[in-house]
Amino acid sequence: MSPAKTLKRAALLRAAAIPSVDRLLKSRPLAPLLEQHGHTRVTAALRARLTQLRTAAVAGRLEAAAVTAEAVAVALIERLDTGPTALQPLFNLTGTVLHTNLGRALLPEAAVRAVVTALTSPVDLELDVASGKRGERDARAARLLCELTGAEAATVVNNNAAAVMLVLSVLAARREVLVSRGELIEIGGSFRLPDIMRRAGARLTEVGTTNRTHLADYSNALGPRTALLLKVHTSNYAISGFTASVPLARLVALGRAHEVPVAVDLGSGSLTDLTRWRLPAEPTVREALAAGADLVTFSGDKLLGGPQAGLIVGRADLIRRLRSDPLKRALRVSKLTLAALEAVLSLYREPELLAQRLPTLRLLVRPEDEMRAQAARLRPCLERALGSGYAVAAVPLASQIGSGALPVEQLSSHGLAIRAVKGGGGSLTRLAAALRALPRPVLGRLADKTLWLDLRCLESADEAAFATQLEALAPGALA
């Protein structure tokens, strides 16, 4: 910078008379901010604001009113009130019940109470109260899992990918694992089963073809280096047509003949027969164990309806090996997860009451008549909020379970279809953004020049709050 420009810059800054940091921190307008946010955070925000003021002064754009303590305090309030906040509740009208991006399963009240207790009180996490000695942190969950599935033993890690990795790392490190080529799935976030196997140190041996795998394919690939036969439930896709797969019972017989364990990754991991509620059939954990599987892994936050967790059930000797491995400690869950999981598993002991107590199941079996009536009630509310620029219709829809569970099955639902009278896709995109900007964001689904709002996950208790906040939509801003 030339001497002339340096002098000019100094002159502008003197003319602006921007107060110092110390002076402003001692001023009365900043006192409430210091009390609320503390010296460290307020000072950092103040320095950033003064930098903005100096830049404006050098450019000749600074107004005198902006440098008063009152004006600086107002600017700091806005700065201090922004930034990372707690997770934000929203309305899930996407039509996907177990939506991975939205946190999957909602926890029942019993689980919420259990988590609050674990948060606010010392708990017997790793203590055997009767003996006063150290205990296993997932012992209660393990007992419940054994009761509900018929397993000899069980353990818990932080998600199902971790469960699969632990099994492979402990039982098959530097050895072969046989998997059908048609079961080499990719789960959410581009995580692929072959990648998990590689990181676990196991060697993948593919058998069969994408659409057809026979018992002979496994038998021909078995060798002295084979440590595990792995069967994966393809819960997030389906192949139809000319297909064949090996029933689990036949794979178990082959494994036992060669003294090779069989592990099953069930993914969504239903603990109960869903057909009793007229839902599509899904393999259960108990069925896999009854067919002879030595280990079964599955998720806690999918069809089970609990917190994120990876559950492993099966033979006691194999579970002991998993528990004693150092990787198990790295993958263990917190007291909050265990508190929620134990509460959810306890609900399964009274299956007749499960649809009333477990939010995931309650949403999946929600009556069509209830959603149809709700759509009729909400249609005029939405029409008033959107104005003449949009047409709103109450329509039948098709929901999906989500999170890789029963991907081709759909649930009859009802909701609202919104179309732009003019402006087309751009108007709908602006409307979708405006709905997401509401105090409690509303997420729908844009497709076929329509914004679809599926009401399956809008329960009666939340309907009034949803309708009320629609008044915050300004029709003029949506045009």
The whole-angstrom separation of Cα 108 and Cα 105 is 9
Which one, of 156, 205, 165, lies nearest residue 181 by Cα?
A: 205
Calculate the CA 63 to chain-centre distance. Answer: 48
pLDDT at position 81: 78
Average pLDDT over residues 47-54: 91
**Amino acid identity, position 143:** R
CATH code of the domain occupying 109-357:
3.40.640.10
Tell me if 30 sits within 8 A of 68, measured CB to CB. Answer: no
The secondary structure of the chain in percent helix, strand, coil, rounded to multiples of 5, reads 50, 20, 35
Tell me if 359 sits within 8 A of 107, measured CB to CB. Answer: yes
Residue 201 per-residue DSSP state: T
The whole-angstrom separation of Cα 474 and Cα 187 is 40
pLDDT band at 245 (very low <50, low <70, confident <90, very high): confident
Average pLDDT over residues 150-168: 96
Average pLDDT over residues 405-430: 83
Tell me if 279 sits within 8 A of 246, measured CB to CB. Answer: no
pLDDT tens-digit map of 375-387:
999 999 999 999 8
pLDDT at position 262: 97
Encoded tokens for 408: 């081709």
Instruction: Check whether 417 has a pLDDT greater than 50.
Output: yes
pLDDT band at 164 (very low <50, low <70, confident <90, very high): very high
pLDDT band at 15 (very low <50, low <70, confident <90, very high): very low
3-state secondary structure of 417: strand
Instruction: Check whether 412 has a pLDDT greater than 50.
Output: yes
| Residue 149: CA count within 13 A, CB half-sphere | 35
Which residues is 229 bridged to in the sheet?
178, 262
pLDDT, mean over the chain:
90
Which residues is 127 bridged to in the sheet?
134
Average pLDDT over residues 355-361: 96
Which one, of 248, 228, 250, 234, lies nearest residue 184 by Cα?
A: 234
Burial bucket for residue 309 (CB in 10 Å: 0-12, 13-18, 19+): buried
User: Is residue 413 within a helix (H) or strand (E), and if so which, with residue range?
Assistant: strand 411-420
**Cβ contacts of residue 165 below 8 Å, gap of 6+?**
196, 199, 200, 327, 331
Residue matched to tokens 């609202």: 416
CATH code of the domain occupying 91-97+364-478:
3.90.1150.180
pLDDT tens-digit map of 274-292:
999 999 889 999 999 999 9
| Residue 129: CA count within 13 A, CB half-sphere | 5
What is the value of pTM for the model shown? 0.85
pLDDT at position 84: 61
pLDDT tens-digit map of 420-432:
987 666 789 999 9
